[in-house]
Chain A
Amino acid sequence: MKLTRILILLFSVSTLVGTAQQKGYEIVNDSVVFTFNLKDYKKYTNDQDGRRISAEDLDVNNVYLTGEFNDWSRQGWKMKRVSATKFQLVKSIKELNDHIDWEFKYLANQSFWAEPDTNFENITLSEQSDFWNSVYNLKLHTVIPNPNGNATFTLEGHENATVVILSGSFNKWNEEALRMHKNGDTWQLTLDLPPGQYTYKFIIDGEWQHDVKNPIKITNEYGGFNSVKEITKPTFFELYDHIQAQRVYVSGTFNNWNPEATPMTKNGDHWEACIDLTGGKHQYKFIVDGNWIIDPDNEIKEIDRYGNLNSVIMVQ
């Protein structure tokens, strides 16, 4: 059997000169502050006929935020004017954590698309681009550095590196979004991640490298290694109605069902214990003076392979 294949490879090489910046939004605590600054945009595209006009030729009266997160709605997300040149809209990050990356754009006067240029670091080529004309959308990354976060990534050495990127399963292996900061002879970045297991690597001046200081690693599909980081969350267990008991323990999949590994302490009218748990499902039971019982205040239950009925908690 003869098989003929024709492969068409398309290479795109782009050169950026100067220093671009993340613009168009800022993540503050649990909110995304979208900001449209008139000074950032030099060109607008008419939605009706596709013609471009200069910013000087447009008097912007209102601005709408449109993007993948609102199905590019042109009416729903109106921005509030906060100064002569700025419009803002604040959204909870919970509304946007469905995806890691979102494309968006600002629409002025409900008819003119504000065109970001290469002064924006967070741009991505739009579907509207063709061979002769580059059109950009703005890009929002919901995973961003957070100095108060729960996951610090450190790379020692590489003092002469120019750019070090942190990339992993937490940001869909984005190769640009998370630049690490040089701090003496180490590179560092802190994120705030939901509990769970994540794989990651460093990109040191374009070269991928796993975290050699982290012994926990898995083999990836390319035959190399991905480093593994486990993020846990303090999880509280409480048992009421057994205040006369002498000893109470909590036992579950998280401590291999060890009956005495996690004693609970009496606190007023209940027993309690706090355990750092990784993300996902955990089965557990309480042991009250030697008797195994399910959590009476938790309606989520499962039967295990041995026929035991256990309580279930989801950590996320």
Chain B
Amino acid sequence: MTLRHLYILCFFIILNSHACPPAIWTAMIGFPEAEVLSENTVRIPFQLADHLIILKGSINGQQGNLILDTGSKNLVINKNHFKQRHTQIKQGVGYSVTGSLQSVSAQRIESFNFNSFEIPYKLGDLLDLSHIEKNKKLKILGVMGKSVLYDFEIYIDFYLKQVTLFRTDNVGNRIDDHFFIDTPTAEIPFLDHGHCIVLNTTLGTTPLKMALDTGAEINFLDSDISGEALKKFRGIKRIKLRGMGHKKSEMLAGRLYDLRLDDSYPIGVMRTILADLSDMKEAYGTRVDGVLGYDFIAMKRLLINYKKKLITFVKLPYKTTRT
């Protein structure tokens, strides 16, 4: 039995000499499977692509999927499906959980539509998301970040596998409050640093600022935290990870023990990657000691309110048994 590998390197140079005239691009984003409750409230079922929250959606009639990502600043458009013939308004900020950034151009998105309601004038970044599409085997139109979500309270419900967006007033109260009938169990304030949700946590006795990022498929911890706190991390294996910017970096995978929210609420053991996050300031717009991603939010029901700077945990149902 033989195995042969033949590697051929081919180099192509493509020259493109078209100029891009300034223009404003109107993006109409829809959710075909959404349950529109009112002009201020919508429920959108989600599916998981491994550990990413995926909403079926469309942009300008093109059907596909959108990633819900609180770690992203703007609406990111996959330039694979929306060619860059529109204007580049500004150079935006890229982001990547493994730190390797690529040049990002931004576009002005004129309106955002959930069938009957719109959010005007959102900035969208153009980024090549083909590596996510290839990995997830899904057509990804874009990523919904903070600027899209800011005017809503976002209810991520892993029990009913749906995201409910409640439009809020200026101070963050739900405009159609009567659609929320579940029972809150805890409220945790967060800091709105950069474009990032930053939670005050305690690891052992060490206070840490952790980013809550629904687009992070795994948790991260900065290798630069104190030695005392690092004792709560147990490394298992060196791995290579790829982020938004394609480049792979080597990191240490392991488990994180004894992390508490707001010094009060214990969180269970979570799979976590220890890495140098010093470059992540650009990614999140602020310095953080770690990132809480899928392992933190999975199987929870929680509300994120940017205006009130508050995370609200909701009671999980239990099955009643008649005796």
Contacts and interface: CB of A to CB of B under 8 A. Distances in A.
B16 to A, nearest CB: 4
Given A301-B181, A305-B37, A314-B160, A173 B137 contact: yes
A71 B237 contact: yes
Contact of A127 (B45, B139, B240): B240
Contact of B17 (A1, A13, A66): A1
B254 interface: yes
Which size bracket describes the interface of B in this complex? Answer: 35 or more
A268 interface: no
Interface in A290-316: 297-305, 307, 309, 312, 314
A13 B9 contact: no
A221 B139 contact: yes
Main secondary structure of the interface of B (DSSP, over half): strand
Nearest to B135: A172
Contacts of A2: 15-17
Interface of A is mostly: loop
A12 interface: yes
B236 A3 contact: no
A5 B236 CA distance: 40
Contact of B37 (A11, A131, A304): A304
Interface string A181-207: 000000000000000000000000000
B255 A71 contact: yes
A298 B254 CA distance: 39
Interface in B2-16: 2-16
B236 A72 contact: yes
Contacts of B8: 9-11
B317 A300 contact: yes
A7 B128 CA distance: 14
B3 A221 contact: no
A8 interface: yes
B50 to A, nearest CB: 6
Interface string B133-160: 0001101000000000000000000011
Contacts of B271: 71
A214 interface: no
A314 B9 contact: no
A109 interface: no
Contacts of B264: none
A281 B162 CA distance: 9
A297 B322 contact: yes
Given A9-B8, A71-B237, A131-B7, 4 more contacts: A1-B19, A13-B6, A16-B1, A71-B253
